[in-house]
RNA sequence: UGCCCGAUGGUGUAACGGUAGCACAACAGACUCUGAAUCUGUUUGUCAUGGUUCAAAUCCAUGUCGGGCAGCCA
């Protein structure tokens, strides 16, 4: 077990029931190496729920000196696409970078399981590229579809042992014969088929002699089992379809239950960790492996409760609907719970990790409060974000006793949490912009921003007093005329005066324009998909676009950099930005106790 | 009405027969040239009923409530 370095902090998870099991196996020396896997189906983009699984599987690999294979669980040609494979790889790389990237199990492009000899028995194995192998070669994820040949061999072996048979029942009849949870099933009329006949039929299924669904290969287990998955489950079905990875090569495809356990075995997986709904499949997982007389140690399945975050949805089927029906701009819309959306919004991978690791691993199904995620984001960004001054809803301020045309360069710290971040200069002139929220004509008690006749400190600059409120014909405040205490500049004679409020500002003559996208939760209720149509709970105000005035240094804002617009929140540059057009996403607002106080009234 | 799984403050989790702890949230205060951050303090919990035991959140039994399983999806 590796010792975590101090800066990894929360990146190393506390123990949980799965880690306890792994630790015991390590203590017993049960496996030569701990090997986990993350096996998404490439039928959609990865989301925050997957992040929990990724961090669990990679976390275990990194804590116990093991490896975690990234594997496409692609046994259903009808639903899977290469676009999803690419996005999955990119998202996983992003999430584990600088944390567990050295544990990421990939294989040389095109590699398939090799026939090997295990203790005198024929065997197949495909391990991750390592060392010199990995250095030069082009790598790719593992694919269950790369094992179709071996899986077929195992199917033949099962038939030969009398453990499987070809069944000619139609889909409807198969369902009828299966019975119900509280009613036993009945044997298929084809259950007694001889091994020789089944072998012949399977071979002809593979050769394409039969149409879709004409026949299936089934395990011969127990039609009366109280566990439905043991009632002669289907192992293979006929699908004449183009597969994103294997093309036209196959017209029979193994079912999840048959492919998954064998994929785990072929890759030498030791701990196959999945979500709770597969718990009832575990006896089948074990049955298949145990009935094949496999020479190497068998993998075992462990289940945990998936992450269910509040005020969003993590069903791939529903996310795809939002994308197709244009409720969002795409899979990577910053309001989406997808990893690509979260990344685009400006959330660092380290914050995602600290969140999903923090919620823990149990078998208790729970709804996770998004405040926990928000806290993780703020905690992370507070340490790393560069402070900048930007005004979201500008109102003009003229400093009447400051010389017109004079420009002062003021020093501003880049990050009070990090002295090494240094300082920058910001220009100050006679005409400024401040945020509309920072002025009130008739403020409530305890409002300590600007008011008529009141004083406020301009961050890094002067204390000003509001002399005059200028309005347009409609009565809207369009300008504030203020007098500055010219001795009160930071470091000046009266700078130490106790002024309750400090606000941000930008010099009108130097300000640069930016589009700022303000995001709110995508749904208005904690569990949008609990009942009825989840789309009726879509938040109509989940996006608000603002034209902001920013301090000039933001002109060179970098895509990978995180910013805190002081007193407002954390922001990151959006890929929609172009030369001369800045677009920022608000990652998350700062905690705002004043706003909360106002809300209460 | 079959089988499997689960239940600890508002939320998420820890305690592995021996002081119910942590985080988030909430509340109160301190500090503050970010009403942020930071710091201090406060409130709130073992699903129920029996049993075993010197001692039970923990072990056993029964019940209650919640979830999963009847795709040729994963």
Q: Judge if the beta carbon of A222 is closer than 7 A to nucleic acid strand B.
A: no
Of A231, A256, A281, the residue at which a domain comes to its end is A256
- In a domain? residue A189: yes
Bin A208: left if φ > 0, else alpha if -120 < ψ < 50, else beta: left
User: How far is Cα A452 from Cα A481, in angstroms, rounded to an integer?
Assistant: 10
CA distances to A3, A130, A586 from A95, rounded to whole Å, are 21, 21, 20
Distance, CA of A597 to C1' of B44, in Å: 22
> Sign of dihedral through CA atoms A477, A481, A483, A488?
positive
A521 touches strand B (CB under 7 A): no
State the Cα–Cα distance between residues A338 and A331, nearest whole angstrom: 7
Q: For residue A68, is it within any domain?
A: no
Nucleotides of B under 7 A from a protein CB: 1-8, 10-16, 23-27, 33-38, 66-74
Q: Is residue A409 part of a domain?
A: yes
CA–C1' gap, A272 and B69, in angstroms: 20
Whether A400 maps to a domain, the answer reads yes
Instruction: Give 10-residue mean pLDDT values along chain A (601 residues).
Output: 36 89 95 97 98 98 97 98 98 98 96 96 95 78 98 98 98 97 96 98 98 98 97 98 98 98 98 98 98 97 98 96 97 98 98 97 96 98 98 98 97 96 98 98 95 97 98 97 96 93 98 98 94 93 98 96 98 96 98 91 71
Q: A499 lies in a domain?
A: yes
A216 touches strand B (CB under 7 A): yes
- Which nucleotide's C1' atom has the smallest distance to the CA of A488? B33
> What pLDDT is stored for residue A532 in this prediction?
83
- CATH number of the structural domain spanning residue A169: 3.90.800.10
Q: What is the structure's pLDDT at A6?
A: 34
Q: Which of A510, A545, A571 is the last residue of a domain?
A: A510
Neighbours of A110 (CB within 10 A): 9
Cα A399 to Cα A16: distance, rounded to the nearest angstrom: 60
Q: How far is the CA of A423 from the C1' of B31 (A)?
A: 24
The whole-number pLDDT of residue A491 equals 86
What is the reported pLDDT for A15? 92
Q: In the complex, which nucleotide's C1' lies nearest to the CA atom of residue A567?
A: B34
Whether A593 maps to a domain, the answer reads no
HEC string for A415-471: CCCCHHHCEEEEEECCEEEEEHHHECCCCCCCCCCECCCCEEEECCCCEEEEEEEEE
Q: Is the shortest CB-to-strand distance from A361 to strand B under 7 Å?
A: yes
User: Is A465 part of a structural domain of the chain?
Assistant: yes
Residue A252 is part of which domain span?
148-256
Count structural domains, chain A.
2
Last residue of a domain, one of A466, A493, A510: A510
The spacing between the Cα labelled CA in A14 and the C1' in B56, in angstroms, equals 25
Any domain includes A487:
yes
Residue A428: CATH number of its domain:
2.40.240.10
Q: Which runs of E-coded beta strand occur in A85-230?
A: 104-105, 107-108, 114-118, 121-125, 139-140, 142-143, 164-167, 216-219
- Which of chain A's residues 446-485 bind strand B, using a 7 Å CB cutoff? 446-449, 457, 459-461
Q: Is the CB of A15 under 7 A from strand B?
A: yes
User: Residue A571 belongs to what H/E stretch?
Assistant: strand A569-573
Q: Is A301 helix (H, G, I), strand (E, B) or coil?
A: strand
A251 with A208: CB under 8 angstroms? yes
């Amino acid at each position: 077990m590796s010792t975590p370095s101090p800066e990894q902090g929360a990146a190393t998870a506390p123990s949980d029931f799965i880690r306890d099991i792994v630790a015991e196996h390590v203590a017993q020396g049960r496996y030569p190496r701990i090997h986990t896997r993350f096996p998404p189906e490439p039928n959609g983009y990865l989301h925050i729920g997957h992040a929990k699984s990724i961090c669990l599987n990679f976390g275990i690999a990194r804590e116990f000196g093991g490896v975690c294979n990234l594997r496409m669980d692609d046994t259903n040609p009808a639903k899977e696409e290469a676009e999803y494979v690419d996005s999955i790889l990119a998202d996983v790389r992003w999430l584990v970078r600088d944390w567990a990237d050295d544990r990421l199990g990939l294989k040389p492009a095109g590699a398939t399981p090799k026939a090997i000899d295990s203790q005198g028995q024929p065997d197949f194995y495909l391990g991750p590229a390592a060392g010199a192998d990995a250095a030069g070669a082009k790598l790719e994820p593992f694919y269950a579809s790369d094992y179709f040949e071996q899986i077929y061999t195992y199917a033949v072996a099962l038939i030969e042992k009398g453990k499987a048979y070809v069944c000619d029942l139609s889909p409807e009849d198969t369902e009828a014969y299966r019975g119900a949870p509280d009613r036993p099933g009945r044997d298929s009329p084809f259950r007694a088929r001889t091994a020789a006949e089944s072998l012949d039929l399977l071979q002809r299924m593979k050769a394409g002699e039969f149409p879709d669904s004409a026949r299936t290969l089934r395990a011969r287990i127990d039609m009366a089992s109280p566990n439905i998955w043991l009632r002669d489950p289907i192992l293979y079905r006929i699908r004449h379809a183009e597969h994103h990875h294997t093309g036209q090569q196959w017209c029979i495809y193994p079912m999840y239950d048959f492919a998954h356990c064998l994929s785990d075995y072929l890759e030498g997986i030791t701990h196959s960790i999945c979500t709770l709904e597969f718990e009832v499949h575990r006896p089948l997982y074990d049955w298949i492996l145990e009935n094949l007389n496999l020479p190497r140690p068998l993998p075992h399945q462990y289940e945990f409760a998936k992450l269910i975050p509040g005020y969003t949805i993590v069903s791939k089927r529903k996310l795809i609907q939002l994308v197709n029906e244009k409720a969002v701009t795409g899979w990577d819309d910053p309001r989406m719970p997808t990893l690509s959306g979260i990344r685009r919004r400006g959330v660092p991978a380290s914050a995602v990790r600290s969140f999903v690791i923090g919620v823990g691993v149990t078998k208790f199904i729970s709804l996770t409060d998004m405040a926990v995620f928000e806290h993780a984001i703020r905690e992370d960004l507070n340490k790393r974000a560069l402070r900048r001054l930007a005004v979201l809803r500008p109102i003009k301020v003229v400093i009447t006793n400051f010389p017109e045309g004079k420009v002062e360069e003021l020093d501003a710290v880049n990050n009070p949490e990090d002295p090494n971040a240094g300082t920058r200069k910001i220009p100050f002139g006679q005409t400024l912009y401040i945020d509309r929220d920072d002025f009130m004509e008739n403020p409530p008690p305890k409002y300590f921003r600007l008011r008529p006749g009141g004083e406020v400190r301009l961050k890094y600059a002067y204390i000003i007093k509001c002399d005059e409120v200028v309005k347009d014909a409609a009565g809207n405040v369009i300008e504030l005329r203020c007098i500055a205490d010219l001795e009160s500049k930071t470091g000046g004679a009266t700078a130490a005066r106790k002024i309750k409020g400090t606000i941000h500002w930008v010099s009108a003559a130097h300000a640069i324009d930016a589009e700022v996208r303000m995001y709110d939760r995508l749904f208005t209720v904690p569990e949008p998909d609990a009942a009825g149509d989840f789309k009726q709970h879509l938040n109509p105000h989940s996006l608000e676009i603002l034209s902001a005035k920013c301090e000039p240094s933001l002109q060179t804002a970098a895509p990978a950099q995180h910013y805190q617009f002081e007193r407002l929140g954390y922001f990151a540059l959006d890929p929609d930005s172009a030369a001369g057009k800045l677009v920022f996403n608000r990652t998350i607002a700062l905690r705002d106790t004043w706003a909360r106080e106002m809300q209460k009234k």
